Amino acid sequence: MDVGPRRDILGDLAKEIKATESPTSGQKLHWGVYHSLFEWFNPLFLEDKANNWTTRAFVEEKTMPELYDLVNKYEPELIWSDGDWDAPDAYWNAPEFLAWYATNSTVADTAIWNDRWGKGITCHHGAYITCNYRYQPGKLVEKKWENALTVDPGSWGFNRNKTGAEYLSVEYFVHELIETVAFGGNMLLNVGPAADGTIPAIFWDRLLGIGDWLKVNGEAIYKTKPWKIAQNQTDVGAFYTTKDDVVYALVTIWPKSNRLVLSAPTPTSSTQVRMVGLDSDGEGELLEWDYMYVESKGNGLEAGIIIEVPPLTPDVIPCQHAWAFAISGLQDEYKEEST
């Protein structure tokens, strides 16, 4: 702390985050850090690189002492590693460090880490995988995964030469969040602070816009799981999540003629549908629906559902960008989970 701001910024940040509760779950937030294994122009790193990774001066004198100190002093429960791509995991001493982090560190019981710990490791090994920038598998995958993306599509930092039109929109991020959750992923959204540490207004706008959408539709996102029957229906821009006995259809395109036609959910006489956030006297307003019969190969006709969406004026519609429909009382909601 002899240079720069002369304060332990990371320590202050860790203290505040660990003391903060989630407004959704009421649980304390978990503290995690980003760490770059390499430094572009560090002479020790460049020397090891010139030696084709047969020497490890940079790792032994800088990277590993720094990582152990980081965990011992600040106790992050998550390490988001980066900068690994040139050298193999053995050069970075990654297996030994992660074994200690997961079994003998003070946060071993809750420690998780990503997949960027050496050349060829990314998208294969880790507590969860990140694979690449804006990773979207478009299907269910075996490992927990993360979609890491930025508000500025061209930078992980803050570029003051950018114009407002060059930043991605709130609608874009809401749609990315929906697709990510429907396929079982986690979305990490990066914002780049300005040189003085402040968060520029355009980043505030995007974060607050996503938050406004989640205030209405959070029940269709938080603590949900992918629906095993189907994850999406492209012709109507729908994605599915589920929680308890409810299936949520999150629709990114307003239904044509106010009729939402969903082929995956099979309704019964007990089925009820409501539009999340559309309340009447404090209770969810039930929507009218009808059976939709579609041909299924070898099985004759199978029923989908047609939901009648009421015409909504701007002062009544619960949100913008995407809309969630909660459907309960479906037939065989979890039929694939018992097989």
Say what the pLDDT of residue 282 is.
Answer: 43
Identify the burial level of 86 via C-beta atoms within 10 angstroms of its C-beta, where 0-12 means exposed, 13-18 middle and 19 or more buried: middle
Q: In this structure, are strands 323-328 and 272-280 parallel, antiparallel, or unpaired?
A: antiparallel
Closest by alpha carbon to 182, among 129, 119, 138?
138
66 contacts 58 by C-beta, under 8 angstroms: no
Say what the pLDDT of residue 26 is.
Answer: 86
pLDDT by residue (tens digit) across 120-166?
Answer: 999 999 999 999 999 999 999 999 999 999 999 999 999 999 999 99
Could you give the CA distance from residue 215 to residue 188 in angstroms, rounded to a whole number?
18
**Across the strands, what pairs with 149?**
189
Could you give the CA distance from residue 232 to residue 250 in angstroms, rounded to a whole number?
9
Say what the pLDDT of residue 279 is.
Answer: 74
As a whole number, mean pLDDT of residues 29-44 equals 96
Q: Is the confidence at residue 105, as pLDDT, over 70? A: yes
159 contacts 202 by C-beta, under 8 angstroms: no
339 contacts 332 by C-beta, under 8 angstroms: no
Helices 201-217 & 170-182, crossing angle to 10 degrees? 50
Q: Identify the residue whose tokens are 């269709």.
A: 220
Residues 6+ apart with CB under 8 A from 293: 301, 302, 303, 304
49 contacts 62 by C-beta, under 8 angstroms: no
**Across the strands, what pairs with 242?**
225, 247
Residues 6+ apart with CB under 8 A from 28: 18, 19, 20, 21, 22
Say what the pLDDT of residue 338 is.
Answer: 36
Read off the tokens for 149: 């993306």
Q: Which residue has the higher pLDDT, 4 or 274?
A: 274
pLDDT by residue (tens digit) across 208-243?
Answer: 999 999 999 999 999 999 999 999 999 999 999 999
Could you give the CA distance from residue 175 to residue 251 in angstroms, rounded to a whole number?
9
Say what the pLDDT of residue 289 is.
Answer: 96
Could you give the CA distance from residue 63 to residue 97 in angstroms, rounded to a whole number?
11
Could you give the CA distance from residue 181 to residue 73 in angstroms, rounded to a whole number?
33
Q: Is the confidence at residue 303, as pLDDT, over 80? A: no
Q: Is 316 left (phi over 0), alpha (psi -120 to 50) or beta?
A: alpha
Say what the pLDDT of residue 295 is.
Answer: 65
**Range with the poorest average pLDDT among 134-138, 194-198, 202-206, 247-251:** 194-198
pTM: 0.91
Could you give the CA distance from residue 145 to residue 129 in angstroms, rounded to a whole number?
5
DSSP line for 28-62: BPPPEEEEES--TT-HHHHHHHHTTTS--HHIIII
pLDDT by residue (tens digit) across 255-299?
Answer: 999 999 999 999 999 999 999 999 754 456 899 999 987 665 555
Read off the tokens for 125: 């090994």
Q: Is the confidence at residue 300, as pLDDT, over 70? A: no
Could you give the CA distance from residue 167 to residue 189 in angstroms, rounded to a whole number?
13
Say what the pLDDT of residue 337 is.
Answer: 42
86 contacts 38 by C-beta, under 8 angstroms: yes
First to last CA, the chain: 58
Say what the pLDDT of residue 99 is.
Answer: 97
pLDDT by residue (tens digit) across 83-96?
Answer: 999 999 999 999 99
